[in-house]
Amino acid sequence: MLINVPETVVDDGLRGFAAAHPELTVDVENRIVLRRDAPVAGQVALVSGGGSGHEPLHAGFVGPGMLAGACAGAIFTSPVPDQMVRAAAAVDSGAGVLFVVKNYTGDVLNFDMAAELTEDEGIQVAKVLVDDDVAVTDSLYTAGRRGTGATLFVEKIAGAAAEAGAPLERVESIARRVNARSRSFGVALSACTTPAKGSPTFELPDGELELGIGIHGEPGRERRPMMTSGEIADFAVDAVLQDLRPKGPVLALVNGMGATPLLELYGFNAEVQRVLGERGVPVARTLVGNYVTSLDMAGCSVTLCEADEDLLRLWDAPVSTPALRWGR
């Protein structure tokens, strides 16, 4: 591992992030990243956050057109309410704050507490829960579907709405719409290693893969002998389409888990496009890269979002963040 000691991994990363991105405000002590121009008058501010180890999520999505603030927790551990309250207070222009929360027990509990405390300070707060992972089948008897790749879609599209001056209720409803229309499925070719533990979080022998994994090194639901990129695309896209059944074109995110080369991801994307073509699903936009990662896990996930004209226009709107940058 390219680290000094496990205890300082998150802070070291934030210090380096600050040095690379002078256009953002990085509070290393409180582990908060903010738009430098926040609060932006008249604009709703999106604040997200989560455990570290998923970079560039979330700090890499801070900037005009996306998040106003992001809070970093310890590795794979939700940040604490104090961070969220501080971030919300720093970015609120008076138009209100939208918390974008991935559906994990820890994130939900901490953001709930933060929302209460933030409202106590007289700031308007709305929350949107991202829960797109179809690998979690039995939502009634689990903590519910996990938030994964759709987080990027929600943050980008709702962020564009906020940038355009939409009021809080509208930004919130767009965020909910994006989440409701998005589904993901992830596959691991190797487990990941957290710095604190120093060994893989689960045993995955060479020649096998794990289907339906999350983004925290937690094992998935099923293990199989190694499949080809094409076979994995068939499995993952079908798992998503069984649940989404889009009637129109989709946004596609082919996401790397951290240790899979881009060359392989692009090859996998070719297979994903093939399967979507065979299933008669038109693709409006495609994004390929490492965006919602799981440390050094090898593997990939597919996220599809059924996108109408409205959502596509917001997707195409300019964005200027460390990890996503286009337009203007």
Partner 1 sequence: MSTETYGAGFFRDWLTAAAAAVDREAGRLTELDSAIGDADHGANLQRGFAAVAATLEKEPPATPGAVLTGAGRQLISTVGGASGPLYGTLLRRTGKALGDAERVSRTGLAEALAAGVAAVSRLGGARPGDKTMLDALGPAAEALGDSFAAAREAAEAGALATVPMLARKGRASYLGERSVGHQDPGATSSALLFAALADVAGAADAVEGTS
Active site residue 21: no
Binding to partner 1 in span 189-248, by CB under 8 A: 194, 196-197, 201-202, 214, 216-219, 221
Helices 150-163 + 309-316 axis angle, to 10: 80
In the list 142, 226, 242, 277, the residue contacting partner 1 (rule: CB under 8 A) is 142
Binding to partner 1 in span 170-199, by CB under 8 A: 194, 196-197
Gap between the Cα atoms of 18 and 147, Å rounded: 27
Instruction: State the CB neighbour count (10 A cutoff) for residue 69.
Output: 31
Of the candidates 98, 216, 252, 276, the residue annotated as catalytic is 216
Instruction: State the CB neighbour count (10 A cutoff) for residue 108.
Output: 19
Q: Residue 110 is encoded by which pair of tokens?
A: 């901490």
Which of helix, strand or coil describes residue 197? Answer: coil
Gap between the Cα atoms of 105 and 100, Å rounded: 14
Task: For the CB of residue 82, give the shortest distance to partner 1 in the complex, in Å.
Answer: 5
Structural contact between residues 325 and 21, judged by C-beta atoms closer than 8 angstroms: no
* Binding residues for partner 1, total number by CB under 8 A: 36
Task: For the CB of residue 290, give the shortest distance to partner 1 in the complex, in Å.
Answer: 19
Plot region of 245 (φ>0 → left; ψ -120 to 50 → alpha; else → beta): left
Closest to partner 1 by CB, 76 or 315: 76
Closest to partner 1 by CB, 106 or 165: 106
Element (H, E) at 303: strand 299-306
Binding to partner 1 in span 73-112, by CB under 8 A: 73-82, 104-106, 109-110
Mark the segment that binds partner 1 (CB under 8 A) among 10-18, 138-146, 165-173, 247-255.
Answer: 138-146
Gap between the Cα atoms of 292 and 280, Å rounded: 27
Greatest Cα pair distance in the chain: 55
Gap between the Cα atoms of 227 and 207, Å rounded: 9
Q: Is 138 in the site for partner 1 (CB under 8 A)?
A: yes
Of the candidates 21, 31, 35, 54, the residue annotated as catalytic is 54
Task: For the CB of residue 52, give the shortest distance to partner 1 in the complex, in Å.
Answer: 10
Q: Is 113 in the site for partner 1 (CB under 8 A)?
A: yes
Binding to partner 1 in span 31-70, by CB under 8 A: 51
Give phi and psi for 161, each to the nearest 5.
-65, -40
Q: Is 146 in the site for partner 1 (CB under 8 A)?
A: yes
Q: Is 141 in the site for partner 1 (CB under 8 A)?
A: yes
Query: In the beta sheet, which residues pair with residue 182?
Result: 305
Gap between the Cα atoms of 253 and 236, Å rounded: 12
Task: For the CB of residue 186, give the shortest distance to partner 1 in the complex, in Å.
Answer: 11
Closest to partner 1 by CB, 18 or 74: 74
- Interface positions with partner 1 (CB under 8 A): 51, 73-82, 104-106, 109-110, 113, 135-138, 141-143, 146, 194, 196-197, 201-202, 214, 216-219, 221
Could you list the active site residues? Answer: 54, 216
